Amino acid sequence: MMAREKDSKDPNEATFMRGWTGSLLLSALALTSAGCMSTKQPLQTVPHVDIPRYMGDWYVIANIPYFAEKNCVDSIESYALRPDGDIDNWFSCRKKSFDAPMKRKATALATIEDKGSNATWRVRFFKVVSVKYLIVDLDPGYQWVAVGHPSRNYGWVMARTKTLPDSTYQRILDRLGTQGYDSTRFVKVPQQTASASSQNP
């Protein structure tokens, strides 16, 4: 299900949102089929995730590009724990420019599949399509995380801040490489920092 701006009468905006919904649905279907066809060794998740600490906003530092997040900048993944133990998940970004409005582009519902580690989730889009969400690397202080998919064709590096030290980012990529990822496929997502914002009032 996609979130739309209320009372929007701009036909271009409506066309964009329909296109975004279709793109995200196709991506979710691709994620599902790719996971089913994967013949590689299973990704190793982290031993334990403290779910309350994991909740909140995560800035997308880098991902393996795919069409549902194409042209997104200032991307944020957000999580909120529900009373029933499931997790509300939504994605927001600006389209093409830091001057564009921040908009919620997608909403989903995540269910924790591995209750022992809390590191394997099933994320459901549109109430019918669900995909694996694997927490494969996590900072002990919950300042950064790497999320993978069994196919290794999709992956995300996220952080609590808009930037990561280059050395930290490279070590994350190196560890992803040891799990069978081609780390050269990861591309940084533009995030507007405070200094950049002050230069562009």
Q: Which amino acid is at 45?
A: T
Q: Domains along the chain?
A: 11-192 (2.40.128.20)
**Model pLDDT, residue 170:** 98
**Model pLDDT, residue 111:** 97
Of 82, 149, 74, the residue nearest 105 (C-alpha)? 74
**Model pLDDT, residue 6:** 37
**Model pLDDT, residue 40:** 75
Q: Name residues whose C-beta falls within 8 Å of residue 6's C-beta, 6 or more positions apart in sequence.
A: none
Residue 145 has phi, psi (to 5 degrees) of -155, 150
Residues of 92-103 as b/e, b for ≥16 C-beta within 10 angstroms? bbbbeeeeeeeb
Distance separating alpha carbons of residues 74 and 91, to the nearest angstrom: 11
**Model pLDDT, residue 126:** 79
Distance separating alpha carbons of residues 73 and 98, to the nearest angstrom: 7
Q: Check if the beta carbon of residue 62 is closer than 8 Å to that of residue 186.
A: yes
For 20-64, what is each residue's pLDDT tens digit?
A: 334 444 455 445 444 444 567 899 999 999 999 999 999 999 999
**DSSP assignments along 169-184, one per residue:** HHHHHHHHHHTT--GG
**Model pLDDT, residue 193:** 87
Residue with tokens 């494969």: 136
Q: Check if the beta carbon of residue 161 is closer than 8 Å to that of residue 58.
A: no
**Model pLDDT, residue 8:** 39
Q: Tokens for 201, please give them.
A: 């009032």
**Model pLDDT, residue 148:** 98
**Model pLDDT, residue 31:** 52
Phi/psi-derived region of residue 132, left when phi > 0, alpha when psi is between -120 and 50, beta in every other case = beta
Integer Rg of the chain from CA: 17
Distance separating alpha carbons of residues 34 and 169, to the nearest angstrom: 26
**Model pLDDT, residue 199:** 47
Of 12, 6, 32, 63, the residue nearest 131 (C-alpha)? 32
pTM over 0.95: no
- Give the residues of the chain that fall short of pLDDT 70: 1-39, 194-201
